[in-house]
Amino acid sequence: MSNSHDETTHTLMEGVVETIKTIVYALLIAGVFRTIFFQPFWIPSGSMKDTLLIGDFLFVNKMAYGYSQYSCPFSLCPIDGRIMGSEPKRGDVAVFRHPVNGQDFIKRVVGLPGDTVQMRSGQLFLNGSPVPQVPDGTFVETYERQGPIGNWPLCKEGNPGVGADCTKDKFVETLPNGVQHSILNVSDGRYDNTGVFTVPQGQYFFVGDNRDNSTDSRERPEFNGVGFVPYENLIGRADRVMFSSAGRSLFFVWTWRLDRFFEKIE
């Protein structure tokens, strides 16, 4: 009887050990995958509408720009500067570590090292030349709280009332390298007119596509903006939306945006 009990206990212990080993291996593999290849990112705000919507889930391609200390969780990679690096291209949608507050942001690269950047009456100027904008209709969404945070969208109508249409003017912007993307405009905002920024070497200028609702390089970090973003702060490029949910929770399946699954980010 004792031998049978000992064997059962031994078998149970072996099962527990194997389960723990499996979990540890899975976590290690997931950690390596997240560090080297792709990092998951959930869109929490409307600063990149309509390219990215609140509730879009995507994987950030870390191989696109190489690796820095920010490539590891908690910025623990023992890397000085950047290794295996590639320069971002104008128009890339990228995730970066905020130079001051340590949060991860996602915006569009518009200014490269050495560029001059300015906003005049809501139009982007690069190196003294206007970046073409062509009207592309109206972006319409429902005026309601959005995503887990419950933010209200900005609307041309101000506060149209819960459940009413919330509209923004939509344009297609064409950057000097030919990259085209949508931008939105609500009104004459505080960032529609700026001074001339000269992007330092080794740094980049980022702007959100939802121009009146984006915290980005148009404002300095000490004024709750972003300022110039150092090359080493880049985490990766966003290439494709994998999944999207318009609801307050991932489990509200009736709010899934099936038309956005696996959508290419442009």
In angstroms, the CA 230 to CA 199 distance is 10
Could you report the per-residue pLDDT of 41-70, keeping only the tens digit for each?
999 999 999 999 999 999 999 999 998 998
Average pLDDT over residues 134-158: 94
Q: Show the tokens assigned to 248.
A: 């307050």
Question: Which range is least confidently modeled, 23-27, 137-141, 142-146, 257-261?
Answer: 23-27
Whether 236 maps to a domain, the answer reads yes
Whether 56 maps to a domain, the answer reads yes
> Could you give the residue numbers annotated as active site?
47, 107
Omega prior to 50 cis, within 30 of 0: yes
Whether 52 maps to a domain, the answer reads yes
**What range defines the domain where residue 174 resides?**
37-264
Whether 252 maps to a domain, the answer reads yes
pLDDT, the chain, mean: 88
- Which is more confident, 76 or 172? 172
Whether 5 maps to a domain, the answer reads no
Task: Give Cβ neighbours of residue 153 (< 8 Å, ≥ 6 apart).
Answer: 46, 141, 143, 146, 166, 213
pLDDT tier, 212 (very low <50, low <70, confident <90, very high otherwise): very high
pLDDT tier, 33 (very low <50, low <70, confident <90, very high otherwise): very low
Whether 2 maps to a domain, the answer reads no
Q: To the nearest whole percent, how much of the chain has pLDDT over 90?
A: 66
Whether 91 maps to a domain, the answer reads yes
70: alpha, beta or left? (left if phi > 0; alpha if psi -120 to 50): alpha
Report whether pLDDT(244) > 70. yes
CATH number at residue 116: 2.10.109.10
**Total count of domains within the chain:** 1
Whether 158 maps to a domain, the answer reads yes
